[in-house]
Amino acid sequence: MSLKLSAGSATANITPPLRTAIPGGFRPRYATGIDDELLARSLVLQNGITTLAFVTCDLIVVSEKISDRAKRRISERCEIPPENVMINATHTHTGVATSDLLGVDEDHSYTDWVSSKIADSVELALRRLRPAKIGFAVAIEDRISFYRRWSLKNGNVVMNPGVENPDLVRPVGEIDPELAMIYVEADDGTPISAVANFSLHYVGTDNGSTISADYFGHFSRLMKRYIGETCVAMIWNAASGQINNIDFSGQTKWQDRGHRQAIRMANVLAGHFITEMQLMTLRSEIELTSAIETMTVPRKAVTEKDLVTATEILEASPNLNYENGPFSWVVGQPIPKNLVDVYAHECRRLAKLPDQLSAKVQLLRVGEAMISALPGEIFVEIGKSIKTIAKGEPNFVVSLANGYIGYICTDEALTNQGGYETWAAMSSIGGVGTAPMLEKTIGHLLSKLS
């Protein structure tokens, strides 16, 4: 049976209105301008048997509610089953509140609307299907991403400890330097899509109150400029929960900031991509398969004493004096006093959630390539482990996909290291055992695809 590939790509504008709340910090910011439009970027692959759709959104997160609504619409209008659709966020920190996050509440008017736009991008891509070829590549880029969690002389593990801080001891882990790539072009050589998968949380922009797709958007526009306007290019954010663009050792000191720096970093990835395109073997026949499974994970425990402390902070003593904690789930570094009210509010939010939570995990195969789509901000160690479970040629680990349960930390980080990423919040929901369950679920999905 022929597995001849057809492919199509498209975008839909998902830019919010001005004055929307912008997530990504500890306190609310409100949009006063737009540096560049936010997009949903879609790639549809079809081989006569199976159709897969991939949608990457310039959002900080895609909640399960948004994803499920979009998938239902895609199923109804495009006849692509939900398990064959992957929807992920880039993790721009200058987007819109698509969920309850630190300092902001979900913008329901936006989330009610955006699912339709996400589905539109898939429908448009499906209408543009044409005979195509596909190729894969992997490069190593170890100069632009850095581990942001450091051990200090006092024994604490701290996120973003300050460049050349005299109390630095060592980063508590290592980056994943792999850049995995997919390139799709029409049979006549017209570019259709370029997908890069790299571990870098985000870079940043000039103004935190201005809407922007960050370096993810710059990459897309640069690839259009370099290889053609028909190319829909996207970055799938890999396991980058504690990986950023700042070298706290001080060995690498960037001269640029904001958009100038974001463009430079996007150009690094684009340069790799253009080089590898010249060496790729493109295939016109390809197998396509997908499976999805719901895993159950424990919510971080919030005790009655935590709730009493939260009430005291929010209603009586905002200047509460403490040296440790002050909540039961804090390990190591205490909550900074200027943020304790934020986490008191988060305690109340988490306590309203069930003790056990569900989240979707997806595994897709495109030829020999394996794509693991995971529902949160994944610690890099977990991403590396998943690559050893679902081995592909190459491997793609896609974070912030099909839903969001916050940071998915290693059990070591939760029980012994602590630090910002482990603090209980709507941006860090899963407790001890979440990472092992994620890896176990990938193993189950692999057996289904086999």
Q: What is the pLDDT of residue 416?
A: 98
Distance CA 167, CA 152 (A): 5
Q: Are 373 and 88 in contact (CB under 8 A)?
A: yes
Same domain, 219 and 306: no
Is residue 98 over pLDDT 80?
A: yes
Closest CA to 135 of 194, 179, 59, 209: 194
Same domain, 313 and 444: no
Is residue 234 over pLDDT 70?
A: yes
Count of positions (residues) in the chain: 450
Share of the chain above pLDDT 70, in %: 100
Same domain, 232 and 202: yes
Average pLDDT of the chain, as a whole number: 97
pLDDT band at 450 (very low <50, low <70, confident <90, very high): confident
> pLDDT, tens digit, for every residue of 414-443?
999 999 999 999 999 999 999 999 999 999
Same domain, 280 and 146: yes
Closest CA to 311 of 344, 287, 355: 344
Q: What is the pLDDT of residue 319?
A: 75
Is residue 61 over pLDDT 90?
A: yes
Domain boundary residue, one of 314, 337, 352:
352
Residue 1 lies in a domain: no
Interhelix angle 258-277/214-227, rounded to 10 degrees, is 40
Average pLDDT over residues 218-238: 98
Residue 228 lies in a domain: yes
Residue 339 lies in a domain: yes
Domain coverage including residue 318: 300-352
Is residue 76 over pLDDT 70?
A: yes
Buried-state track 136-157, b at ≥16 Cβ within 10 A, e below 16:
bbebebeebbbbbbbbbeeebb
Average pLDDT over residues 402-413: 98
Same domain, 39 and 107: yes
Residue 439 lies in a domain: yes
Q: What is the pLDDT of residue 220?
A: 98
Q: Are 265 and 240 in contact (CB under 8 A)?
A: no
Domain count, the chain: 2
Same domain, 307 and 185: no
> pLDDT, tens digit, for every residue of 240-272?
999 999 999 999 999 999 999 999 999 999 999
pLDDT band at 276 (very low <50, low <70, confident <90, very high): very high
Q: What is the pLDDT of residue 222?
A: 98
Query: Helix, strand, or coil here: 134?
Result: strand
Same domain, 97 and 209: yes
Is residue 316 over pLDDT 90?
A: no
Residue 13 lies in a domain: yes
Distance CA 424, CA 344 (A): 10
Q: What is the pLDDT of residue 1?
A: 63
Q: Are 301 and 415 in contact (CB under 8 A)?
A: no
Q: Are 400 and 421 in contact (CB under 8 A)?
A: no
Residue 185 lies in a domain: yes
Same domain, 241 and 286: yes
Name the residue type at position 203: V
Same domain, 154 and 89: yes
Interhelix angle 380-389/434-449, rounded to 10 degrees, is 30
Average pLDDT over residues 207-228: 98
Is residue 317 over pLDDT 80?
A: no
> pLDDT, tens digit, for every residue of 163-200?
999 999 999 999 999 999 999 999 999 999 999 999 99
Is residue 389 over pLDDT 90?
A: yes
pLDDT band at 103 (very low <50, low <70, confident <90, very high): confident
Domain boundary residue, one of 311, 335, 352:
352
pLDDT band at 156 (very low <50, low <70, confident <90, very high): very high
Name the residue type at position 446: L
Residue 65 lies in a domain: yes
Average pLDDT over residues 391-407: 97
Say if pTM beats, i.e. exceeds, 0.85.
yes
Same domain, 229 and 333: no
**Residue 137 structure tokens:** 């590549």
Is residue 11 over pLDDT 90?
A: yes
Same domain, 362 and 410: yes
Domain boundary residue, one of 308, 330, 352:
352
Average pLDDT over residues 85-95: 98
Same domain, 241 and 330: no
